[in-house]
């Protein structure tokens, strides 16, 4: 059995890549959902590959990963929008950064870029700060929903004979006859021939269970605003010129038509600190308004949130073999999402086959294409009407903000959704302007009816995140 520890976008894609060769692949996820850690709380950007330090593993895998996303989109039925990106210079000092980015792009082998002057830039992005002088434009940059990629890749593993096990927190490892016995917090144990540690923020701690050391991970928090779909702010991803620490506070069009502003980049002590702060959100406002002055933070805000990234002093990915048949995939910070498909191939084709000398042969019965819960609102109206005739649930709207029907929610539950967040990330129900104020009671009821869970047993996400505490009756 091959064990993959962690179901984020990197772990799930690695498991999928191994599964193309070996059926017996298990994903062990410590949390109650797929892709709900680092994967959930980021900008969702597929970077162009021009920015990373030449010669680093990040630079090697970012550009390759970008190129693989068209294939990922087709095979996993996930949305990838090549909206392009601009790195914008607003003064003479920042113009130097544009020249530096061009030099990095050349060294990294990236050919898909243009240097746009003020007129060209403002024609493409009329809402930009009119002080903009020039931009580094990369047309192959894009956006996706990283949790959707993780969920679909995990689904692919299950369809192709593997297993995805949630609430499996690894607490102990014992070597046994060139294999590993893995012990989990729930009392279960499994024997693995090969282990891939892709535990995100906790990859350094998991490495120690195997007797290995990887670069120390410290969490860096990024705070965001999510703005609604009513106003057009930008056509592409808008970057400021980068600093040594961060790519800065951005303006990002999301896959479903909204906008992200952020993130900040501040080190925090706790790997569970997902709080937003007055200071952090003010920083996001000030820096993003510098790029796009029309952003409306008074009337168009849907929500604020924060995510954590696994940072190391090395500022590079650590992907290597440990002691025995274990591979540590650690320090996967930006551009980890972009590099994820290439990281998966690097692990399988180089580390497993060449470095560990494990011969693999592709399975003839492997299923490449994976369907997903379709959003009926995106279908042709006549097609939707035909679906309603076959299944009346397709005509019952549950989430009015994002136009999600009862049929879609029931399909998500059939595919394994058990929490409100499972349904949210599978269908976008409760992801809209009201953030579930109107649809959550209906979704909770559907989950209860479809699964047999009592309403008070249905969770928002993790253990303890109950919605209904007990039954209520009139006296």
Number of Cβ within 10 Å of residue 38's Cβ equals 26
Query: Which of 277, 305, 299 has its CA nearest to residue 433?
Result: 299
**Sheet of 45-46: strands edge to edge?**
45-46, 142-144, 80-81
Query: Which of 289, 285, 328, 284 has its CA nearest to residue 307?
Result: 284
Number of Cβ within 10 Å of residue 386's Cβ equals 12
Give yes or no for a contact between 438 and 429, defined as CB atoms under 8 angstroms apart: no
Give yes or no for a contact between 192 and 1, defined as CB atoms under 8 angstroms apart: yes
Give yes or no for a contact between 78 and 35, defined as CB atoms under 8 angstroms apart: no
Distance CA 44, CA 147 (A): 9
Query: Which of 23, 22, 41 has its CA nearest to residue 272?
Result: 41
Q: Is 369 a catalytic residue?
A: no
Contact residues for 209 (Cβ-Cβ < 8 A; gap 6+): 170, 171, 172, 173
Contact residues for 292 (Cβ-Cβ < 8 A; gap 6+): 127, 128, 129, 233, 234, 238, 251
Query: Which of 8, 13, 9, 18 has its CA nearest to residue 195?
Result: 18
Distance CA 77, CA 368 (A): 11
Query: How distant, in Å, are the alpha carbons of 74, 160, 254, 421 from that of 376?
Result: 19, 27, 19, 20
Cis peptide before 335 (omega within 30 of 0): yes
Give yes or no for a contact between 237 and 86, defined as CB atoms under 8 angstroms apart: yes
Distance CA 66, CA 49 (A): 7
Place of tokens 């549950």: 398
Query: Which of 87, 132, 80 has its CA nearest to residue 113?
Result: 87
Q: Which of the residues are catalytic? A: 47
């Amino acid at each position: 059995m091959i064990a993959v520890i962690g179901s984020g976008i990197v772990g799930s894609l690695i498991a999928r890549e191994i599964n193309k060769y070996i059926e017996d692949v298990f994903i062990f996820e410590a949390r109650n959902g797929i892709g709900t850690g680092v994967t959930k709380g980021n900008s969702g950007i597929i970077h162009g590959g021009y920015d990373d330090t030449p010669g680093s593993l990040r630079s090697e895998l970012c550009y390759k990963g970008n190129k693989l996303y068209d294939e990922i989109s087709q095979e996993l039925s996930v949305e990838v929008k090549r909206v392009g990106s601009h790195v914008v210079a607003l003064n003479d000092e920042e113009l130097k950064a544009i020249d530096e980015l061009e030099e990095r792009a050349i060294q990294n082998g990236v050919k898909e870029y243009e240097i746009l002057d003020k007129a060209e830039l403002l024609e493409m992005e009329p809402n930009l700060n009119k002080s903009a002088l020039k931009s580094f434009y990369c047309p192959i940059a894009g956006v996706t929903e990283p949790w959707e990629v993780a969920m679909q890749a995990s689904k692919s593993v299950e369809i192709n004979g593997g297993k995805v096990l949630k609430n499996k927190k690894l607490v102990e490892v014992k070597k046994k006859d060139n294999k590993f016995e893995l012990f989990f917090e729930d009392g279960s144990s499994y024997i693995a021939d090969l282990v891939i540690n892709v535990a995100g923020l906790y990859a350094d701690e998991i490495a120690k269970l195997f007797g290995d050391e990887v670069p120390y991970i410290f969490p860096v928090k990024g705070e965001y605003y999510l703005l609604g779909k009513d106003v057009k702010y930008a056509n592409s991803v808008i970057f400021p010129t980068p600093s040594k620490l961060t790519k800065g506070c951005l303006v990002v069009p999301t896959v479903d038509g909204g906008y992200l502003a952020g993130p900040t980049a501040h080190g925090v002590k706790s790997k569970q600190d997902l709080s937003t702060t007055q200071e952090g959100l003010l920083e996001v406002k000030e820096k993003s308004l510098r790029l796009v002055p029309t952003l409306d933070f008074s009337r168009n805000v849907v929500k604020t949130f924060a995510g954590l990234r696994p940072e190391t002093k090395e500022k590079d990915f650590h992907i290597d073999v440990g002691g025995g048949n274990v591979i540590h995939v650690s320090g996967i910070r930006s551009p980890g999402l972009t590099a994820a498909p290439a990281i998966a191939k690097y692990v399988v084709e180089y580390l497993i086959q060449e470095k560990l000398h494990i011969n693999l042969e592709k399975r003839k019965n492997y299923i490449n294409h994976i369907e997903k819960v379709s959003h009926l609102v995106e279908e042709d109206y006549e097609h939707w009407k035909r679906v309603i005739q076959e299944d009346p649930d397709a005509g019952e709207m549950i989430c009015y903000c994002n136009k999600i029907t009862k049929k879609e929610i029931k399909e998500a539950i059939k595919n394994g959704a058990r929490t409100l967040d499972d349904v949210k990330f599978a269908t976008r129900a409760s992801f809209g302007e009201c953030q579930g104020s109107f649809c959550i009671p209906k979704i909770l009821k559907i989950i209860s009816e479809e699964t047999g869970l009592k309403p008070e047993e249905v969770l928002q996400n993790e253990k303890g995140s109950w919605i209904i505490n007990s039954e209520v009756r009139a006296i």
